[in-house]
Homo-oligomer: A and B are copies of this chain.
Amino acid sequence: MRVSNLFTKSNKEVSAEETAKNARLLIQAGFISKEMAGVYAYLPLGKRVLDNITKIVKEEMNLIGGQEVQLTALQPKEMWDATGRWNDDVIDVWFKTKLNAGGEIGLGVTHEEPMTNLVKKYVNSYQDLPLFTYQVQTKFRNELRSKSGLMRGREFLMKDMYSFARSEEEHQKLFAEVKVAYEKIFKRIGLSDRTFFTTADGGAFSSGFSYEFQTLIDNGEDTIYLDRDKNVAVNEEILSDEVLTSLGLNKADLEVHKASEVGNIFNLGTKYSKPFSLNYLDEDNQQQTVIMGSYGLGISRVMGVIAEVMGDEKGLVWPEEVAPARFYLASLGIDTEVTEKADELYQKLVDEGIEVLYDDRDARAGEKFADADLSGIPYRVVISNKTIAEGKVEVKPRQSDQVEMVSIDKLIEKFGVKL
């Protein structure tokens, strides 16, 4: 894409009302636009990042056999009366409204009820199990406060997977498969070295403990106690000598950190399958209740977390697989030869299937370099009279000050291929 064609621009000023670092950087770089507190629109470059994260998450869910569906935002009251969760004392972030035709409805805060109800339509026998279903869907939560940018929105994109097993043992196997898939996702999106599997409170959703993937972040909403050697953590909310002993952890070995939850795993047991009578006939023709698990991953939240933890004083920093483009190509000066060579390289990279943001504007080098850094695209590539004289291009990784002169073949061979 050519910068001259992009309708968005980087913004010099961001409203002081916006206090979250992630939202400030994303607005400044022209990736998102604030519609109201906790509600953001995605602009072309931001939409690409969101799509890239979504693609990674879907690929890993599909690899373990996840079947993609799309449930609905509009939820009838009756569906939630079955579990008592329509009650505002149980879920206090409902947006509720009414049908003109009569009847109360709410906007999907979460989807355990409709997913259980859906799967019940199709599961009868042990031969229909186990299975995973998932969706990537907008969730709506009527949060009283929303000041963390994409990290806690009132309207946000989430992947929620659900597992349906015949026994506790089978459930544990499915749980372990999702855990591995989540580890692969966090590696691919570039957060693995600061994201830890954390034991937490099961809460209202779950029976017993729940599990979280927590990313270390200075202004995170959670506090975790991390055992670096064992590569696991405990959420402060359940910290006690008894819990530590049960997890085989020693308080003296733990570091305390602020963190933000990027994924979660709930052992739902029969909490939802019982009220919806989601049963199956076993091999002896006996009725049994399905054992469920749920596995959340906040896609827009992850985008916010990456911006928050990786962004530096120059702007955003995107890991390779989530970046809106691989190269930020800047032509310097408006000499015909520079423009021709830059156009040619742009076309060559596009033909090779490499995503490029091509800054073809008639603008000063300083402005182009500042926008290149602000955009967080992994490699800046410069074409100027100087590079043309050497028959090369200049390349600089986003997080380095070292420039390197390389031939176009070497640029593609060394920097054009994702690891």
A residues whose Cβ falls under 8 Å from a Cβ of B: 5-9, 30, 33, 35-37, 39-44, 47, 50, 65, 67-76, 79, 92-93, 95-97, 99-101, 103, 105, 107, 114, 118-119, 121-123, 128, 131, 133, 138, 140, 142-146, 154-155
In the complex, which residue of chain B has the Cβ closest to the Cβ of A88?
B100
> Which residues of chain B have C-beta atoms less than 8 A from A50's C-beta?
70
Instruction: Answer whether A73 and B73 are a contact pair too, CB < 8 Å, given A7-B128, A123-B7, A131-B7.
Output: yes
The 8 Å CB contact of A96, one of B40, B41, B93, B97, is: B97
> Which residues of chain B have C-beta atoms less than 8 A from A118's C-beta?
33, 41, 43
The 8 Å CB contact of A70, one of B30, B41, B74, is: B41
In the complex, the answer to whether A74 meets B154 with C-beta atoms within 8 Å is yes
> Which residues of chain B have C-beta atoms less than 8 A from A142's C-beta?
99-100
Bound Cα distance from A142 to B101, whole angstroms:
8
In the complex, which residue of chain B has the Cβ closest to the Cβ of A67?
B44
Bound Cα distance from A118 to B27, whole angstroms:
12
> Which residues of chain B have C-beta atoms less than 8 A from A73's C-beta?
73, 138, 140, 155
Instruction: Answer whether A35 and B74 are a contact pair too, CB < 8 Å, given A97-B96, A100-B142.
Output: yes
Bound Cα distance from A143 to B102, whole angstroms:
11
In the complex, the answer to whether A42 meets B65 with C-beta atoms within 8 Å is no
Instruction: Answer whether A36 and B71 are a contact pair too, CB < 8 Å, given A5-B65, A8-B122.
Output: no
The 8 Å CB contact of A47, one of B35, B43, B47, B68, is: B68
In the complex, the answer to whether B74 meets A36 with C-beta atoms within 8 Å is yes
> Which residues of chain B have C-beta atoms less than 8 A from A119's C-beta?
7
Residue of A9, A74, A133, A144 with highest tally of chain B CB at under 10 A: A74
The 8 Å CB contact of A41, one of B37, B65, B114, is: B114
CB of A92, distance to nearest CB on chain B (Å): 8
Given contacts A41-B118, A73-B140, A95-B105, 15 further A-B contacts (CB under 8 A): A5-B65, A33-B118, A33-B121, A35-B76, A35-B79, A39-B72, A41-B72, A41-B114, A50-B70, A73-B138, A74-B155, A95-B97, A97-B107, A100-B142, A100-B144
